[in-house]
Structure 1
Amino acid sequence: MDLFGFLKELLLEDNEIPISFYEAKKTLCSLGMQYEKIHACPNDCILYRNSFADAKSCPTCGESRWQKKRNGDDVKEGVSAKVLWYLPPIPRFIRLFRNTKHAKSLSWHANERIKDGKLRHPADTLAWKRVDLKWPSFGNEYRNIRLGLSTDGFNPHASLSSKYSCWPVMLVIYNLPPWLCMKRKFTILTLLISGPKQPGNDIDVNLAPLIDDLKTLLDEGVKVYDAYRQEEFNLRAVLLWTINDFPAYGNLSGFSVKGYKACPVCQEKTCSEYLKHSRKICYMGHRKFLPNTH
């Protein structure tokens, strides 16, 4: 609060800088940068939304929705035990198309990409072309957005605290030129899953609000104004693939990345062997695709 007041005094007269944190949040929300705080079960069983919006305890594990006091018995009404931060992507897609420069860049893959049969851009991949074949109406509108989803966990406190995990979930827009795809300003943070332990295979519970929005974008779309062409159109989006390491791949897909059939490509033909003395499963044939002289 004091910082906003100091900055207002520091700048020229009649400046419009907000004088409080509340006013600053209202400005960000009007720009399409709002966020939602969704209460979650501490054990990642459910999110307190839709039919569970008014519930006070988890119907699956019975854990209280509210944070417990230090004595361990009573709870602090109104203070959630776990909070999921959700930043809806649809308002940000709308805001991107309202910028003339960004709206032009979002159609680069259709108008300016070199099409010579070489793999230069995600638009040259089989996954992109299969979407066009499966949904012709989607492929005919070149402004429709193709997305990639990336997530991984990290400990923001480094070695200070090992009992904390933070999982950001980000979307990457592939309509853009290659030199813009991975820029920070076009990487959209959609979810922040934090808590004393990682979500593991229950990450799908936390992804529910994002999945609902992605379904809306794929099935129905949203009305968007294209500032570059000065026209309104129905924007749709599709998730092409996910980007993650092998353990996170298992959490997102539900595929078992441990055991005798841990390879998602080889599956039944995975070359695995149990070593009884070390009591571990070892993959002895993992070099079989390399030449004998490697």
Structure 2
Amino acid sequence: MLYWKDDIDMEYCKFFGDPRYKATRDRNPGSKKSPYAVLRYLPLTPRLQRLYASPATVEHMTWRANHITEESSMCHPSDAENWRHFDRTHPDFALEPRNIRLGLCMDGFAPYGQYGRIYSC
């Protein structure tokens, strides 16, 4: 639940009744409460605009358009069959070198479920 606008002063989740803040043993009256979770909003559009505005990074932003792939190895997600399928399905998007494809970054990186195996790079 997002504690915002009409819900900013709520102490418990209106859906499940869970507390908003962690319980502590030694609560000083002036101490700040510690929430269970924090939502961080990072606006994406201004960040991407800055990447294209900087001469130092603009070349990296169009790297995919100039990248030469080898059929037998996968050194980048753009070398994968799923990426090629997307390019075939959406040719207008694929032909524009400035288009950006966003991916999910997470701990335990394992390309295509290859846990414990070394991929071709």
- TM-score tier (shorter): 0.5 to 0.7
Q: 1:146 aligns with which of 70, 85, 101?
A: 101
TM-aligned CA deviation for residue 102 of structure 1: 0.8
The aligned runs of 1:1-294 (5 Å cut-off) are 46-49=1-4, 53-54=7-8, 56=10, 57-68=12-23, 70=25, 79-86=33-40, 88=42, 90=44, 91-111=46-66, 113-115=67-69, 117-119=71-73, 120-152=75-107, 243=109
Count of residue pairs brought into register by the alignment: 108
Query: In the alignment, is the contact (CA less than 8 A) between 1:96 and 1:103 conserved in 2?
Result: yes
Between the aligned residues of both structures, percent identity stands at 31
The structure that is strand-richer by fraction is 1
Q: 2: distance between equivalents of 1:135 and 1:55?
A: 46
Which structure would you say has the larger Rg? 1
State the TM-score, normalizing by the size of structure 2.
0.60
Q: What's the secondary structure of 1:132's corresponding residue?
A: helix
Q: 2: distance between equivalents of 1:148 and 1:137?
A: 20
Structure 2 residue runs of 5 or longer lacking an equivalent are: 114-121
Q: What's the secondary structure of 1:79's corresponding residue?
A: coil
Task: Tell me the C-alpha RMSD between the 2 structures.
Answer: 3.7
State the TM-score, normalizing by the size of structure 1.
0.29
Distance of aligned partners of 1:79 and 1:58 in 2 relative to their CA distance in 1, 3 Å threshold: same
TM-aligned CA deviation for residue 110 of structure 1: 1.0
Q: 2: distance between equivalents of 1:67 and 1:116?
A: 52
Distance of aligned partners of 1:108 and 1:151 in 2 relative to their CA distance in 1, 3 Å threshold: closer
Q: What's the secondary structure of 1:148's corresponding residue?
A: coil
Q: What's the secondary structure of 1:149's corresponding residue?
A: coil
Q: What's the secondary structure of 1:146's corresponding residue?
A: coil
Match of 1:145, as an amino acid? I
